[in-house]
Amino acid sequence: MPRNRNMVRVLLAFVLFGICGGSIVALVIYADAHTFTFTGSPVNHTQNNLLDLAEVAEQLDRIELDARLYRITTSEEYLRTAQSATVALNTISMRLQEQMREDPAEEANAKDLIAAAVRLTASVKRITPDATTAIREPLLDCHRIVNLMQDEERRNLDQREQAEQRNSMYLLGRRIAVIVVGTALILVLFGFLIRDLMRRGKFEAQISDTTERLRLTVERLEQQAAESRLLIAARDEVALCLDVALAQQVTIRYLTQLLPGTAGGLCIINSARQLMETVEAWGGVDTVIYDGFAAETCCAIRSGRIRWRKPERSEIHCTHFAGKAPERYVCLPLTAHGETLGILTIELPTHEIATMAEARESTLISLGEMAAMAISGLHLRQKLESQSIRDGLTGLFNRSFMEIALERELIRAGRQGKQVAVMMLDIDHFKQFNDTAGHEAGDVVLREVADAMRLGVRSEDIVCRYGGEEFLIIMPEITTRAAIERAELLRRMIGDLSLRYHGQMLRQVTISIGLAMYPDHSEIPEELLRSADHALYAAKHKGRNCVVAADTAIRA
């Protein structure tokens, strides 16, 4: 019993000693933590200011980029995005002013930034597609102020970090003293640690599990960063494409980088918006996709969103495969401005590749959206270019393009010593078609005559609609005799046309042709056209449905 009482006293002494030592350690730790928090707050404040300034710079870059895109595309969406960025810019500037109230110099810079942001906001509201340079000066002012504030904050950060380092050395000395006291306490309480050794295995397992989760998180972040870089590179390269085919090739190249080991095809809806046509394929597709298929055969088109087909997820197959459909694939609709442009069908050969692709779904969708916007923009650009040089009814070149082409061909012929033929063609008694069968019948006659002329000329010849029922053909590098023979061929082809309108046979279509040659009749485009017109007038007076070449006397 006395021995037990002694043991109890020893244990009580150890406990009291442990409590006292623990209290001392706790007080030192608390003081260190309080000091660290006090000294660290200016550093954190400066770092927060630097982060906000970086965000301001990012908003300025976004405004500049959207303004350029608005100038190029004249899309109001980019203007609204730029205006939204100015709102965020003003909000951040106000927050910076609140954070810098304690330092007069910093607060003055913040006020300058707010004033520059207000000027920039007003400039953005006034920009138009032809006057996007109005925001240049406000942007430069904002950038200058931001750079000045960043330099000042970095100098403050350096000074405060040095002060923190000096304070850390002081804290280090105090901690050494605590370590000495703690070491003595550890020696006294060593016996209690033996019990903790038995729990070490479980703790190590937990640490190992936490380390593995951390490793996976780091890998995931690295993968996300790589995907972001890939998207940025794809966006920059697609922006350089001048035609749809090149944009499609760029999309497929970056898609194979995003999802290596896959195969598939890119299908675009045709101009009639009835069939999907396969325009690009990659990866040596084992399961062939039909070259043309109805849009509703794809489940993704019907659902309007990305669709994954896996044995464990869905058993319904799309029916646009020639043969047996693959076990695993994904279909991604390509839509822009609410309009479906096509689909990406991606075959996933293995379960591992399917898992990888599903993990990168958001990046895949972003790449598809970027490709759809690029293809849509290029389609619109091609359409506008075609409308600027083509006649809407016949599809032939219009008069403006004819004038440019004629001048170009005459300059080339003069340089090479070649001849150029200019044919002026007119449909005989065309007004009768409109008077007897209606203007729609007249449009049918114009289109059929235009198609016949396209078939009757050489590939290098230029067929234009001159106006009304008159047409003009430019034939470079041709002799007078060959030009007359070609004109006779056109006259016979058009005379052989059998046209019907609403089941009613239209009367025979004939044309009169006036021919002028460069340089025989003139070397000036206007005079050459006038010679061809006079020859056409002579063909009309001769009885129509004939070819008349301009006489060299006409020029005189």
pLDDT tens, per residue, the chain with 556 residues:
444 454 445 556 566 666 766 666 666 566 555 554 544 467 788 888 888 888 888 888 888 888 888 878 877 887 788 788 888 888 888 888 888 887 787 888 888 888 888 888 888 887 877 665 677 888 888 888 888 888 888 888 888 888 888 887 887 877 787 777 777 776 766 666 677 667 777 888 889 899 999 998 998 888 889 888 988 988 888 888 888 888 888 888 988 888 898 888 889 888 767 788 888 888 865 557 888 888 888 888 888 888 888 877 777 888 888 878 888 899 999 888 878 888 998 898 888 888 888 888 898 889 888 888 888 887 777 776 656 667 778 888 888 888 889 999 999 999 999 999 999 999 998 888 877 777 888 888 888 999 999 898 998 999 998 888 899 999 999 999 999 999 999 999 998 888 887 777 888 899 999 999 999 888 899 999 999 999 999 999 998 999 999 874 344 3
Q: Is residue 273 part of a domain?
A: yes
Q: Is residue 13 part of a domain?
A: no
Cα dihedral 539, 540, 546, 551 in deg (nearest 10) = 0
Same domain, 181 and 268: no
Of 60, 57, 55, 81, the closest CA to residue 69 belongs to 81
Q: Distance between CA 252 and CA 255 in Å, rounded?
A: 5
The SS3 call for residue 351 is helix
Same domain, 29 and 95: yes
Q: Is residue 18 part of a domain?
A: no
Domain CATH code at residue 151:
1.20.120
Looking up tokens 């996300």, which residue turns up? 224
Measured CA to CA in angstroms, residue 156 lies from 50, 111, 129, 251, 490 at distances of 11, 19, 42, 47, 85
What is the domain range of residue 251? Answer: 244-384
Q: What is the pTM of this model?
A: 0.44
Domain CATH code at residue 463:
3.30.70.270
Q: Is residue 191 part of a domain?
A: no
Cβ-Cβ contacts under 8 Å for 43 (sequence gap 6 or more): 157, 160, 161, 164
Same domain, 297 and 360: yes
Domain boundary among 165, 185, 205: 185
| Count of the separate structural domains present in the chain | 3
Same domain, 274 and 421: no
Q: Is residue 215 part of a domain?
A: no
- Write out the two tokens for 279: 């325009």
Same domain, 135 and 283: no
Same domain, 49 and 137: yes
Residue 553's pLDDT is 34
Instruction: Report residue 271: phi and psi, to 5°.
Output: -65, -30
Q: Kindly report, residue by residue over 453-470, the tens digit of the pLDDT.
A: 989 899 899 999 888 889
